[in-house]
Amino acid sequence: MDKKNRSGKVTQDTPNVIGNIAIVFMSLLLIVIGSVMLFTDVVKTIYFCYGAGACLLVWGIWLISRYFLHKEFQQTTNYGFSVGTLVVILGGITLIRAQDVADTIPTYLGMVVLVEGVVMLQNTVQLKNLKGNLWIVSLILSLLSVAASIAILLDLGDLITKRQQIFYVILILVGLSALLSLCFAGIRTSRYHKENRREWERNMEESEEWLDVAPAKDTISAVTQEETAADGLPSSDDDPSKEEMTVPEESDAAVEVPEETEQEELIEVSE
């Protein structure tokens, strides 16, 4: 989401760090488990449970510490402490009940695949609204991931019991697809905000140029008048051609007739 700072410039809000880390962690977990179980039989499933539990503990402690170190309690919508506490509890349970978790790990992995598919679907919506060209690729990957999660959770076609190799390949592909979709969304979001920032700067420059036109004209006119006054030439304001034409009034001397002339004319008429 965009917001304006005190100068009026459009800036991007702080990204969801916790969500991005969670998506990356689940994607890497799927890739590691699928790769190891596909290419070797030495590692047991319970070891992944221990590793996942330890990672959850470290991640939860980091979230709780970050909540206090960065003073995230000053933000209303920040739940870093709650998420960190929940992750620590899940990590502890995973370490304590590692064998039970290992026995049902395909179910947990199917739920992780489902979460990854839904997140990729959101990335698709984001790419579509931001006019990203790769939204159709993200859509295909998300739909395939959701379908794969349903097949894993319902064990369709004995995918878990008899076709474990296909199951491990699905885990690897879903993990890679989730990382790829996240990269698509991140790159497109960054470009979108850069384009908005450039457009905002362009509009500000145009508005500043428009506001500077009128003062510049007044300054040029004033300088011109000062130069003409210094040269002794009439300025545009003193141009006699612009003055209104006035009709001179007839003087009283021209209208009045001398009294002597009137008497002479009367004598001549009487004679």
DSSP secondary-structure letter at 248? P
- Per residue in 125-162, pLDDT tens? 988 898 888 899 999 999 999 999 999 888 887 777 77
The residue whose two tokens read 């990729």 is 120
Cβ contact 159:167 at 8 Å: yes
Residue type for position 120 = M
pLDDT at 263: 54
**Phi, then psi, of 258 in degrees rounded to 5:** -60, 145
DSSP-derived 3-state class of residue 6: coil
pLDDT at 139: 92
For residue 174, how many other CB atoms are within 10 A of its CB?
Answer: 29
pLDDT over 90 (residue 61): yes
By mean pLDDT, which of 44-58, 140-154, 248-262 is the weakest?
A: 248-262
- Per residue in 196-215, pLDDT tens? 888 888 888 777 767 665 55
% of the chain at pLDDT higher than 70: 71
- Per residue in 230-247, pLDDT tens? 555 555 555 545 444 444
Q: What's the alpha-carbon Rg for the chain, to the nearest Å?
A: 43
Please, how many CA atoms are within 13 Å of residue 153, restricted to the half-sphere of its CB? 13
